[in-house]
Amino acid sequence: MLQLTAWTFARIFPSTAALPGLDNFDSKPFIRQLHREAPFTIRATLIVSVLLFHVTPLLTLGIPLPAFLLSAKRVDEHAQRLSMSNIYLLRQIMMMLKTIGGLCWGAMPEVRQKLTMPVYPEDSGRWRQS
């Protein structure tokens, strides 16, 4: 599941000429930490969203293949159609993936530097000790 989630984030947050994307970073440490520390509902919703993202190209593109077997162009088209679906629950798949993936992407030091934002300091982990 870790690999599939990282792959999905990399496709939803690709690099551009102006900004690096999650295809340039290892998002697995972030995902592991999220699964250790986030509430069950967040973890479960993320897992379900990733799985649904991969099985819904049949609904969005009419292609009976999981998203990880599609070309980059088709994955992008699939994500776009999910985001614009008239079915609220399908749009929620992308909302969850963009929200959690955005937290990962926005915390990357290289991204923060490009956006002229201060880099986050190392996590002290103090709140976990109480």
Per-residue pLDDT at 129 exceeds 60: no
- Residue 125 is predicted with a pLDDT of 67
In a domain, 73, yes or no: yes
Per-residue pLDDT at 69 exceeds 70: yes
**DSSP string across 11-42:** HHS---SSS--GGGS--HHHHHHHHHHS-HHH
State which residues form the domain around 26: 2-120
Residues 71-103 have pLDDT tens digits of 999 999 999 999 999 999 999 999 999 999 999
In a domain, 27, yes or no: yes
User: Which bin fits 16, alpha (ψ -120 to 50), beta or left (φ > 0)?
Assistant: beta
In a domain, 91, yes or no: yes
In a domain, 10, yes or no: yes
Averaged pLDDT score across all residues of the chain: 92
In a domain, 128, yes or no: no
- Residue 128 is predicted with a pLDDT of 62
In a domain, 54, yes or no: yes
Residues 31-63 have pLDDT tens digits of 999 999 999 999 999 999 999 999 999 999 999
Total of domains in the chain: 1
In a domain, 129, yes or no: no
Q: How confident is the model at residue 123 (pLDDT cuts 50, 70, 90)?
A: confident
Looking at residue 67, what DSSP letter applies?
Answer: G
Per-residue pLDDT at 130 exceeds 70: no
In a domain, 89, yes or no: yes
- Residue 99 is predicted with a pLDDT of 96
